[in-house]
Structure formats: structure tokens, C-alpha cells
Chain A
Amino acid sequence: MTRDSVFSGTLLEEQALDVQELASACAVAPEWVIERVQSGLLSVASSSGGEMRFVSTQLIRARRMATTERSFDANQELAALVTDLIEEVERLRRQLHR
């Protein structure tokens, strides 16, 4: 087992991902991301000069949608609906512990 020095990462809120980076992080093609943004199933954190940017919430949402589509051969709307419900369950669980 090796031990490296301390690594400082970057918060996605400080340095957002572009389409290619989000696609790579979700193991999907860039077109997959663009299509879901255009369908309104995935939001963007910002879109300056035509370049879409994504932060943590979108990364987690996109990964959930991609996993659901793959696991259940779900179409993109159904996968987005499942992801909406998972996000709602998370919100309610947080409220329960608030």
C-alpha cells in the first residue's frame, strides 16, 4: 500500500465541467449529455458563449440517469423520472433529520 502526499482537488462549483468532461465522468458520449440538456432533463450550471458547464448536482444527477438507462433499458424520460424520485426521497430524508 502506498501513501502519497496531500492532494488538493477542485470543487466543481469553482471549476465546472464541460460537456466532454461530464460525459467522460458518466461513461457516456457527449451527445448523450447534449440531448438530455436539450430535452430539459438535465440542467446546466451556466452556459456562457454557447459552452455548457455542470457542477456537482448535475454530475450526480447525470450519473444516476445514465445508470438507470443502462440497468433497465429505460428511455431517457423514465430514467429522469426515477432520478427525480430518488432526489425527492433524499430531500425528504434530510428533512426528517432536520
Chain B
Amino acid sequence: MEFKEYYQTLGVEKTAAADEIKRAYRSLARKFHPDVSKEADASARMAEINEAYAVLSDPEKRAAFDKLSQRRASGQDFQPPPGWDAGFEYSDAGTPGENAEDFSDFFNTLFGRSARARGAGGARAQMRGGDHHAKIIIDLADAYHGAARPISLRAARLDESGHVVTDERTLDVQIPKGVKEGQSIRLRGQGSAGIGGATAGDLYLEIAFESNAAYRIDGRDVTQTVPVAPWEAALGASIEVPTPSGRVEVNVPKGSANGRKLRLKGRGIPGAGSSNSAGDLYLELELTLPPADDEKSLQLYATMKREFAAFNPRQHMNDKS
């Protein structure tokens, strides 16, 4: 187990006053706020910062931590000596209101749920396991068809000797057909194990879609850009388009302009359950010009120039000025 140097995490001196620790924490909490920060590891950093603050903002935990840290340097392998916390009394018996399940083995061994269970005296304390939260990123196709997707999770548990060990496991989760971005799936009993025979917590998975330049998603409605040749747009055409629900034959109306949207009702993300209807699929036409990279195609463009001599694509700009 790695010793955590909480003062370094918050960027404060070991002699820092409580106010200074609070200011440092708030500054870092703004910088690494998962909803706002552009840092790649914002969530992981925020968990470290929360953990450090949970200890250093509590005078009892801070005093106990200071006693331990006098003997250790950050990063060294560490096991707390027996009876390390003798003489320290934790009035709150833990960290109420914080998701201590996200904290490190180091924290959990010293101050977390296992410590609370250890300190519960002769009676074996019962405590429901904490709920866990994770985000799962899926393909749009998974929402259309449903799929089993593996997610990797790390969870702390007590071994037979009462020490916290971290298990890494991969859970295959069934993604229900028709799921939307922002919805949560609840997996009962897949959070932290309960203590003293109490029930395990739950795991909540928040759904997010993999970023895909080909699609734009709004609820269950999906917009897909479809390239078309100028003559298909001008003359009308029947084209075949691969969509998330399979290939479809679509009629491009004669005289279609660039950006025109064709609505395919009910071909968006399917409804989940009986109470929800499927979304729509919008095909947005994108006029694509053939390359002018040989003599023949250059001649064809020259012919168009001659034949469309009156056409001015910037006419509307002149009209406004």
C-alpha cells in the first residue's frame, strides 16, 4: 500500500492552518471539477483531492495522519503499525457525506469503513455497502440493438484478516435497447460489500455515447449527414444509405438544397419499454462535388460555367448589402 502525502496533494505546508487548507481545497476543487475541467484526469485528481481534504480538514484524522507521516515518505510501501491509532478518538466515526468508496486503500485502511468496523468494539457492526457510480461510454449501435459490454471496476473489500484489498474485476453489463444518453442503469448489489452481513451497495452506470462525427443525437432523435452528388440533389434520386438500424433506400426529392433534412419516422433510437416511442432519424443532405483533377472533369466544369453564366452563388450577399 502506497503512503499518501496529503499535504502535497493539496499543495500546502504541514504547518498550514485550517483556513489555508480549506482555501487550497476549494481552489483545486474548482480547477478539477469533473463537470467543468478540461484536464484529462480531472475525476481521478478530484478523488485524490477529496481524500486529502477529508483527512486534513478533520483535526482528529489530521493529528493521527501527522503522527504516521513523521515516519514515512510519500510513495514508499506502507503498512500501518499495530495500534497506530491508539490515543486518537474519531468523533464522527468516518467521513459522513463523502463518497469514501472512491478513496484509496491507504485512506480506507486508516479511516474508512474497515477502520470503523474494527473500532466497533466487541459487537460486530453492520453497515450497508456504499453505492458506486461510473460512466459507461457506448456506441450508438448499442442503443439501437442492445448489447453486453464489459466495464472494468476496482472495488475495495475486507479480507479474512480485516485488511482492505482491492479487487479489479470486469463486469459484463447488458445495455438495454433504447437507452438514451444521461440515463442511469442500476445494478443492485454491485457496489461495495456490506460489513457484518449487511447488504451490498448498488452500482449506478451513467450512459454516455461515444463521440461520432457521423451522427448527432438529441434524446432519441438521430441526425446523420449523407453526402449526395449535385445531380442527385438537382434531379432527384433513389439512394441507399447505411444507418444505425441497417441500410435503407431513400428518395432524394428533386431540387433538394444542401442541408435539406429528410425525416425517417421511427428510425431513431428505439423506445425503451412500452411507454416510450422510438425517435426519428434525420438524413441531412450534404452536396459533394466531384473532383476536378483530370482534363475531362475540367471540361465539364467549364461547360457548367458557360451554361450557368447567370448563376451567382453570392447573390444573397449582394442583396443584403
Contacts and interface: CB of A to CB of B under 8 A. Distances in A.
Interface of A: 1-15, 17, 24-25, 27-28, 56-57, 59-60, 63-64, 66, 70-73, 86, 89-90, 94, 97-98
Nearest to A25: B131
Contact of B186 (A9, A27, A73): A9
B185 A11 contact: yes
Most B-side CB within 10 Å, residue of A8, A9, A25:
A9
Contact of B202 (A25, A56, A71): A25
Nearest to A74: B26
B9 interface: no
Contact of B35 (A11, A24, A59, A86): A86
Contacts of A97: 216
B23 to A, nearest CB: 11
B168 interface: yes
Interface string B122-137: 0000001011010000
A59 B207 CA distance: 13
A12 B98 contact: no
B169 A3 contact: yes
Nearest to A70: B97
A3 B170 contact: yes
A5 B174 CA distance: 10
B111 interface: no
Interface stretch (B66-74, B176-184, B240-248): B176-184
A6 B148 contact: yes
21 contacts: A3-B170, A6-B148, A6-B172, A8-B173, A8-B174, A9-B173, A9-B174, A10-B185, A11-B176, A24-B202, A25-B202, A56-B182, A57-B182, A59-B184, A60-B184, A71-B25, A71-B26, A71-B33, A72-B26, A89-B35, A98-B223
Contacts, number: 108
Contacts of B229: none
A11 B148 contact: no
Contacts of A59: 184, 204
B171 interface: yes
Place the interface of chain B in its size category: 35 or more
Interface of B: 22, 25-26, 29, 33, 35-36, 50, 96-99, 128, 130-131, 133, 148, 150, 167-174, 176, 179, 182-188, 190, 201-206, 216, 218, 223, 272-273, 276
A17 B260 CA distance: 42
A-B complex: 10 closest residue pairs judged by Cβ atoms = A9-B185, A56-B184, A9-B187, A8-B174, A71-B29, A6-B172, A56-B183, A2-B169, A86-B35, A6-B148
A27 B190 contact: no
B218 A63 contact: no
What DSSP secondary structure best describes chain A's contact surface? mixed
A78 B217 CA distance: 31
Given A6-B148, A56-B182, A98-B223, A1 B206 contact: no
A10 B272 CA distance: 11
Given A11-B184, A14-B273, A59-B204, 14 more contacts: A1-B170, A4-B171, A7-B172, A7-B190, A8-B173, A9-B203, A12-B185, A24-B128, A25-B204, A57-B182, A71-B26, A71-B29, A71-B33, A98-B216
Contacts of A24: 128, 131, 201-202
Given A24-B128, A27-B98, A12 B186 contact: yes
B272 A11 contact: yes
Contacts of B130: 27
A11 B183 contact: yes
A60 B183 CA distance: 9
Nearest to A87: B35
A92 to B, nearest CB: 13
